[in-house]
Amino acid sequence: MLKIITLIIALIFAVPAFALDGTQLLKQIDRNLNPESFEMYRKLINVEPDGRKKEFVLFSVKKGVDKVAALFLAPASEKGRSTLRVGENMWLYIPNVGKPIRITSLQSVVGGVFNNSDILQLDYAAEYEVEKVEEIGNDYFLQLKAKNKTVAYDRLKMWADKNKKLPTKIECRTEADMLIKTLYFKEMRDFGREIVRPSVMETDSPLYKGYKSVMIYAQIKKRDFKDEVFTLTFMPNIDSLRK
């Protein structure tokens, strides 16, 4: 009898063989969104409550999990500016100013709802650990916690399509669970070379009522870069990478 009771208890507390590995799932979502190293073109649109819009065109490059750089191509007033992120360190280069200026993740070089952390996004798995993952209908639901205090958002709630393993919505929250902004991933597109992902990311925020920002991805392709591309001295030369 004792053996039967012991077996029942063991079965109750056993971890199911099919239990989701949240960390591996998040890494898969990262890779489905972007190759580990790539270049891309995108348009960023800020929409004000009265309908007025301001648009920016950026050329961006990324290497590994923690190196990102972006060059402004338009409008003319921003052309030639570049940004660099290595880990949590960020800089803005403005032609004729002299040297790169340090910026923070919660600032925004373009205004609007997207901040610098959104524009120079690293892999989610590089910045967050998975606290909980579960299946809800056709989605995976992941609750993520920042690995350290330098990350822009303390917590993320992510809904990801179960079949595609791509995010459909992300809520960015404070440590006290206050909603800062919501990211919506829309309009699936085949970019070629096995890159199939949302081509539009929209965001709104209860802190900026009536405002909306949209990021439209025009091109994404795998490409390798030397480490020197992601240095302060190379920031004035990012345009040389365009082919």
Question: What is the per-residue pLDDT across 48-61, written as a single tens digit (0 to 9) for each?
Answer: 999 999 999 999 99
3-state secondary structure of 113: coil
* pLDDT at position 182: 98
Cα–Cα dist 27/168, whole Å? 16
- Inter-residue contact 119 to 83 (CB < 8 Å): yes
Amino acid (1-letter code) at residue 201: M
Given a cut of 90, whether residue 8 has pLDDT beyond it is: no
Per-residue pLDDT reduced to its tens digit, 194-230: 999 999 999 999 999 999 999 999 999 999 999 999 9
- Annotated domain spans of the chain: 20-241
* pLDDT at position 13: 47
Per-residue pLDDT band at 243 (split at 50, 70, 90): confident
Given a cut of 70, whether residue 19 has pLDDT beyond it is: no
Mean pLDDT of 66-88: 96
* pLDDT at position 125: 95
Given a cut of 50, whether residue 16 has pLDDT beyond it is: no
* pLDDT at position 3: 56
Mean pLDDT of 238-242: 97
Q: What percent of the chain has pLDDT over 90?
A: 87
- For residues 195-227, one letter each, b for 16 or more C-beta atoms within 10 angstroms of the residue's C-beta and e for the rest, the string is bebbbbbbbbbeebeebbbbbbbeebeeeebee
The second-level CATH assignment, the architecture, of 20-241 is Clam (2.50)
Per-residue pLDDT reduced to its tens digit, 84-130: 999 999 999 999 887 899 999 989 999 999 999 999 999 999 999 99
Task: Tell me the average pLDDT of the chain.
Answer: 92
Per-residue pLDDT band at 18 (split at 50, 70, 90): very low
Pick the closest to residue 228 from 94, 112, 63 (CA basis). Answer: 63
